[in-house]
Structures are given as structure tokens and as C-alpha cells.
Structure 1
């Protein structure tokens, strides 16, 4: 039995909750909060007959202790796999990407398929990359690179050839093959209907590689103070990887799996989802759950596949991609909800958000009241008429605060497609909160950084790395630091049903699991630029230090 006494610092317990000056953790759970209560418990420990009990003293030295972060929407296996291929994420030009792919190919002649992620789509006009550019690096082996959005891939000619993608290939369902003037495929594939053509001929990854990627992702998160992650795109092979990692004792933080629902195969998927959930529950690892189903309602604005109420600026008739046609999304959501799953819907455009809200509302009407905590992820563009519906229906808006800035992605790809007026209505975080809705934060890593403090710096300033614009972009949507910290911690725990677990987590109160993070400085008193680079000193899971920068 071990106890840890935290003192001489600020114990932050959530927005609107008084801070404390001391905390006692006993056997992995919070035993006492505040110096008076802690002193009473310490006195009781001194007089207890259990001589095996130990007490560690942690002097915060004026620092800050809070509930650990959660990531309400991410793709950890994808993130961990990026280190297995050419390192293109930091490349700032096509020439740099080609050079890195060439270097990697020469260093790894044994690799049959060269795969990597993730390049910046804003490097080329319209995000359209040519296969012939990659042919300059590697012509005799297939090369497949994912874009930052993970909705797009860039292939060399050999990959297109092996996938059978030619000028005669019809446009796939739920996908797009951009073409040259003669009808031949350019080399960019958009959305999974097109990407699946390549994935169908790629050999599966060795399980050892996938396990290594998951461990790498866990290390990444623990270093950043994250102890729970919503894996928001889980396919059958991923379930096996998570269960294998658990069996081998290689899970080091909490994961919930959101099982991917594909409109092309959904009728056959639901029984398999129920079985996957049963297997995970039967496995009995408190760090692993699978109670969520993930839907895509649309794509992304940068590809013009985000589903919009009004057309894109580039076309009078292009409203983007509607993944589930007609009433099919509502029907599938009702079925998943009736099976007791939490619903998690990717919805970027305002039409997709409305479709998602309608589908969730129909499930509530059909299946009756219960604690369901449905999630709409991203909610990049929400029509004003739909803002209040998040509170009315009880839907959690899981947003990515890092995206609410005028970076290259926004200025080069997003704003030109939406237009200035519509673009100014993106990421309406504060509006949803002030209308009584629930907001949680996520990163969508590896699409963008999984470092919570970077997202917090943007969400509380709406400024980019250069501190621009003065006063923030769309400053009326700035979230104050206390609510932002809450949204990246206790609000994500609510999304995760943490308060219903046998040992509650995500809060600092007696009886809760001691899932905590320590900073050397109070993040509430840092400038956005300072906050973005402040490091987590220690991450605790169940009272155990699972990461320390000391």
C-alpha cells in the first residue's frame, strides 16, 4: 500500500471548482483534498498498524496539479505507424518529399510497398499531387503516401498500376480519382472509396509492426499528459492489435475503440461490432473498452468533400460528399443506438452536422431515454439554426482547438473554398458552451499535433504561432483558460463515461483514480506562446508516475 502527498502548489480540480493546496493519494485513488483533510488522513496513517504502508512526499514547488488530459478523437495506430515509413511530415516542398522517399527507398531495399504519412496538401495548388513526381524517387516499387487529413493519398505510377487504376476505371462509390486531361489518373486519390482500391492490393502489416506503433503512440501521449484516448476509426485488424497489446501487458493508458461503420457494408458489420464489444468486455482489461461506433457523415473541406448546405465557392452545384444518402445514416444510428453503443459521428460541413443531429434525434425518439452521450466530432461549420440543438438533444461537440487559426491550411485551402463570410463561422466553441451545450476537445492526431497545450494555446487566443491576428481570429469564439483546461480533461472524461466506471477517473475528488498531470507553472497565467511550449512534468495513471521529465 503506497500513499503520495502532493503539497506546496495549486491543485486545480476543474472550471468553477475551488482549488486546493494539498492532495493525498492512497493505493492509486484520491484519499483527501485540501491540507486540513490531508493532515487528518496522514495522522490516521501514522497510527495505523499496517507497517507495509509507504508515504512519498511530492513538493510541487509552486507548480500545478490537475486531472490528466484526454483526447476525445484521435487515431493512435496511424500516428505510431508514421515512424515506420519515410518522414514526410516536416517536408516543406514536393522536392523535399521526393528526396525523402528516395532516401528511404534506398535505405530499405527489402520493403515491397513504401508507405508513409503525412504530407501537407497545401504544398500544391488544389492539393492535387502527380504520380510522376514520386516516380522520380521510386519507379519499380509502389509508393503510397497519406496526406495530413488521412482522407487523401498520393501514389506513384506503380501503385496505381497494381491497383488497376487506369483511365477506364469508373469513379468509385464514396471516392474520387482526379484525372489529367486525357482521363488518366493523376496520382491523388480522395476519400476511402478511392483509397480502398490501393488498400485492397497492399499486403497487411505484420502484427509486430502494429504493436510497436501502438506502443509508440502510447509513449507519445503519456509524455503530453494524456491518459485516455478515443481511437476514432477502428477496423477488425485494429481490434486484434489492441487485444494482443493488452494480453501482453503492453497497454499503458486507457483506450476506447470506436468501431468504423461503412455504409457499403453496414448490414453485415453490426453483428461483428456487437461481437467485438463482447470480446473486449470479456477480456476484462480496465484500460480497454469498445463501446462506441464511428460514422463518417462527410469528408473534409480542403478536398471539397465536406458536406455543405450551400455550394463551394468553386462551383455553383458542388455541395461536397454526403457519405450516407437519404435516411440511411439515421437508420444506421438508430440500429447502433438500440444495440447500446455510443454514437460518434465525423461531421465537418454544416449539412453533415445537421444530418448527424437529425440522426441522433431520431435514435432518441425511436429508442427512448438513456445515458447515451452521443458525439459529433469536428463540427467545423455549424449553421446558426443548429447551434442550440447540441444542448437540446444532449450531443457532445468534440472539436479540435488547434484548427481554429489562420495557418497555411486555413488560408490556402479552406477559406478560398468557403469564402470569407462562411469561413468566419468555423469552430464555434464558445457559442455551443454559452448555449448550454457540452464541448470536449480532441486532436485528431496524427492529422495534426496531439499535444494538448498547443491546442489550448490556440483555443484560448485564436492566434497562430506568430501571434496573429491581434486580438484573435473570430475572437468571439475564444474559450477562457479555465473552461479550456476543463474541456481537455474532465469534459473528455464525461464523453468517456468515466464517472460510470468501477473506479471513477477524470476528477480530483475522494475515491477517484489519481489520473493526474503536473506542470512546473500554472498554465492559467501563461501567455499563449508560453503555454504552447510548456512541458508536462509528470503524468500519473492510478497514482503511478507513467511519465516524468525530471
Structure 2
């Protein structure tokens, strides 16, 4: 806070607020002044008049809570949801899936493809994975592509197997790995590794060339534009899009030109297995080409394992009730350590998807190798998801400078708790390993919190509520693993300063501090003081990005194309 009279009035002054700055030097304030897109003053209402002039926009917050703009550290804004798809969220039985597809077909009788998203594994009885035979009765000869809610697997009918040329002799596909029947050797219709292959540059191109509408540029852009509108409406002023190819960057530049890029973007580039040195050179070029405060490219996304629900995450001990099956890592540990050491030597920051305790340990071991070979540096490599963490590895995050990029909503009992595939596959003896937010925080790890949209709801209020309660979103039932809850202030920090630090942005975002970008949100409720059960339903009434009001009265300001 400054005590001198400014030579030039501010462009925007916010008054009458309860400002929670997430800045320990000045934790609370009542007013903020903004000039040229940055915060120039934070202080008391009594001093705000000094910053106003004839051209100053003054916003009265009416006593409401003001927070730094949310930074969603892992948000797939390019993926969904897609209005052209059958929406399967909430369809918890095969009959319910059939009903939704049948209703959609009746409304789209001329559709060349049936595409659906948000399939829940638990909808298939007996814990088995779906097959083409499960789809054929309601899809007939029209090819069908159904994506799981986590977009890690795809489900095809017989017609799609034929169109996409999936056979017993062709299971290693550009867009995934076809599962085969152990008795007949024929493809079942279930495809693993879709997130690793199908969302890669080569996989996406293959789907597009095969005529899958979901992969077309127009459909991609439609998903992105809609998700960007949702993000800013929720007060998410920076989105970290964690998995992109160089082909995808044109989508963001188009959104920027059309005024849809209201939220700032950090775009990580996907590094699938087999990425060449020449491609790494392209990645380094893109990081220099896209490096402003609105669109930044740079981190690399890798996978070490898959996901728990279809039993493809890598565990230290076998899955419950599955004999000796522990899942696999995509790389042998030595190879992955060599890979990450090489990327670290080139100065790349790595986001590594790891859900199982063996997968997470493999990543931490690789970071330790990189530090031993290259010397310690401020790399801020991330383990993304940290779903099942062995307690022995908890202190290693802080020791190695590794960020825990986590999604609290995934830890809700209605998503992963007793009776759900995650909890049943892990088994009760290991539930204490589930999403250990409090343990990591207590051990000094940086928590970067996020939604993982469209795997879960984008709204930060949903994530904060779950982090604080570990309860179902409807508030019913008992909390699951409540010993790993965190308080609201810690959750807010994870969605602001924690995520800023995780992405080397703490110097300009994450707190309401003089000199930083003027990105902040006015909430309808004071989530730091109300009962946690009231956090869901709290809305962003006003959102400011770079000093520009982009949401007012809870409504998104219409897009304005750039000149």
C-alpha cells in the first residue's frame, strides 16, 4: 500500500470489498486500484478516492469477498463438452446408455456417426469393460465412438471396428490399443490408451483422415470456445491446458483473434513416446513464439501410467481381486529416468500423468536421477493427479521440488469412494493412500489444484468444496478419507498462488499484490466464512482480467474480436 497521491488516476477502482489477497505481506484489504492492466494499489476504502478521476470506472463490491482470479492448473478446454455428442454423464447403467443413444438417434436420423462422451465404467455390470456387442443393439450399422468420462478409453461398435480397420491383426492403432478377446483373439470393441495415442498429433490426424467427425477442426474449435466461455464465467482467469500438439495452437490463436480468449492460457505440449529431437526443437521454437501473458506455450506433458478404473494405472501391489495384475508403466523405469533427465537438461518443465503409487514413485525416482545428473535446478516438474500415493513418497515432493497437481473433485465418494470402481480396484487396505492433500501440504509440497475438466466439473467451487469436506457433491452420506481434507484458505491458495507457482507465474499472478496483473473475482458468497456445505452454488458475480471487466452481474461480456 502506498501513502502518496498518485500522479495519474486509476483506470478501475474496486471498493467496498473484503479482499483476501493471498499475499502474507497484506492479507486483507477493502479496495484495489488498477492502471494499464496491473494492480497499482491495495488498501482501505478510506484511501480509495485518491485513485479516482473523471475517467475511472468505480465498482462497489457491496461487501463481497474478492479473491485473485482462479488458476486452473489442469483443464482440458479443448476436449469438451461437445454439443454434437450423446451426453452420458449420469447414465449409470447399460440400459440408461441405450436409452440416451436411442433418443439421440431419433433426433438425428441422418447422422453418419454416433458419438458419445462421459461414459462411466461403472455402468457395465460385473466390473467388466464394455464390448461392441453392448452397443450394437442400439447403433445398428451406423459406426459409434463412445469416449469414457476420463477420455482415456474408447468404446466402438462393430460398424466402427470395420470403418476404423480394427482387426485381430491390427490392434496397435494410431489412436489406441484394441483389447482382444482372450479366447477368440478378436477385438472386443474396447480401446485402451486413447488419451496417450488418440489425443496425440498422429492419433488425431488418423481419426480425422478416417472421417471421425469428433476430430474435425470445427468440432475442436467449438469445444474450445464453449469451454473458454465457461471458464471465465467461473472466475478462472488462467487456464493451463495440459496436452496439446503443435497443430492445436491455431485453435488458441483463432480464439484470441475472435475475442474468446478472455482467460489467459498456458498450453503444454504433448510428448508421446517416440518424440524426436527435431520435434523437441519445434517445441522450443513454439515456447519462444508464444510467450506473452495471454498465451504461453512451453511445458511438456508425459504419461507414466494410465488410470485406476480400467486397472491400467501402475500399482506397487496387485489390484484388489485381480491376482497378480499390478498395471504397467508406459516406460521401463530406467528408460523413463533417462528420458526425463534429458528433457530436464534441455530446460523443459515436465507435467507427468501418474495415478498409481508405482507410477508416482517411478516419476519421483526419475526426477531424483535428473537432479543427480544435471544438478539441482528450479524445474518445478509436476506429478499430475497423485491419486494413490504411498506414504513413503510423500516427503519426496518437497525434497525434490516436485509440484503435486491435483484435482480434489476426483476424491469425492460419489466419484471414487466405496462402491465406485476406483475404491473397489484399490481395495480398503489402500484407501489411506487416496488423494493425500493434507499429508502433502503438511510435508511442504506445493499443491496446484485444478478441475481436470471435462473429466470433472470445471467450477472451482466444486473442487474447493470437495477438498474441504471429501463429501459427495449433493452433501449426502459420510465423507470419505476425511483425514485428508484441507481448510478453505489452503484450497483457495491451491487454486491461486499454488497454481501460479507451479507454472512459474507467481511474479505476476496468484495474489492481489501491487505490480501483478489485475486478475480478480468477486464472489456471491464469502466462502472463507460460510458453512462449507454452502460453497457449491457460489458464483462469480464480477470477473476482471487485466483490468477489464469480462463478467458483470454473473453474465459474460460478449466477445469482441481483436483489430
- Whether 1:509 and 2:540 are equivalent positions in the alignment is no
- Give 2:143's aligned residue: 142
Which residue among 314, 327, 342 is the counterpart of 1:335? 342
- Whether 1:20 and 2:29 are equivalent positions in the alignment is yes
Equivalent position SS for 1:440: strand
- Structure 1: unaligned runs, 5 residues or longer: 47-52
- Give 2:535's aligned residue: 531
- Give 1:254's aligned residue: 264
Equivalent position SS for 1:359: helix
Distance 2:251 2:421 in 1: 35
Structure 1 residue 498 displacement after superposition: 1.3
Equivalent position SS for 2:151: coil
Distance 1:532 1:403 in 2: 16
Equivalent position SS for 1:57: strand
- Report if the CA contact (8 A) 2:229-2:260 is conserved: no
Counterparts in 2 of 1:27-426, with a 5 A limit?
Answer: 27-35=36-44, 38-39=47-48, 42-43=49-50, 54-80=55-81, 82-108=82-108, 111-125=111-125, 126-169=127-170, 175=177, 177-179=179-181, 181-192=183-194, 199=207, 201-203=210-212, 205-263=215-273, 265-266=274-275, 268=276, 270-279=277-286, 281-283=288-290, 285-407=292-414, 409-410=416-417, 411-426=419-434
- Report if the CA contact (8 A) 1:234-1:257 is conserved: yes
Aligned length, in residue pairs: 534
- Give 1:480's aligned residue: 487
Kindly tell me: are residues 284 and 480 of structure 1, through their superposed partners in 2, closer, same or farther at Cα, counting changes over 3 Å? closer
Structure 1 residue 43 displacement after superposition: 2.8
TM-score by length of 1: 0.90
Bigger drift between 296-305 and 169-178 goes to 169-178
- Report if the CA contact (8 A) 1:277-1:289 is conserved: no
Structure 1 residue 144 displacement after superposition: 0.4
- Structure 2: unaligned runs, 5 residues or longer: 1-8, 556-563
Equivalent position SS for 1:255: strand
- Report if the CA contact (8 A) 1:62-1:520 is conserved: no
Distance 1:406 1:102 in 2: 30
Distance 1:488 1:317 in 2: 39
- Report if the CA contact (8 A) 1:465-1:529 is conserved: no
Structure 1 residue 277 displacement after superposition: 4.2
Kindly tell me: are residues 225 and 382 of structure 1, through their superposed partners in 2, closer, same or farther at Cα, counting changes over 3 Å? same
- Report if the CA contact (8 A) 2:287-2:298 is conserved: no
Distance 2:548 2:486 in 1: 31
- Report if the CA contact (8 A) 1:396-1:437 is conserved: yes
- Whether 1:546 and 2:550 are equivalent positions in the alignment is yes
- Give 1:50's aligned residue: none
Structure 1 residue 169 displacement after superposition: 4.6
Distance 1:212 1:338 in 2: 38
- Whether 1:438 and 2:438 are equivalent positions in the alignment is no
Distance 2:139 2:424 in 1: 34
